[in-house]
Amino acid sequence: MPHGFRSSFRDWAAEETDHPREVIEAALAHVVRNRVEAAYARSDLFERRRALMDDQARYLAGI
């Protein structure tokens, strides 16, 4: 994914949605760098990432 697209997605998600930062970062495939936090991050947040992607699809479609 080109950096400009990733940056645009991150800005849109932060400014236009109520999705948690953790979900947005997971959608961007960012790794949790804090070892303690990473140890407890057992979920891939798949359904929550799906909802975020659905919101973006609606936004891009102009709905």
Digit-by-digit pLDDT tens for the chain (63 residues) are 566 888 999 999 999 999 999 899 889 887 767 777 666 666 788 899 999 999 999 999 997
- Distance, CA of 43 to CA of 37 (rounded, Å): 12
**HSE of 55, CA atoms in CB hemisphere, 13 A:** 18
pLDDT, position 3: 66
Closest among 42, 45, 7, 13 to 26, alpha carbons compared: 45
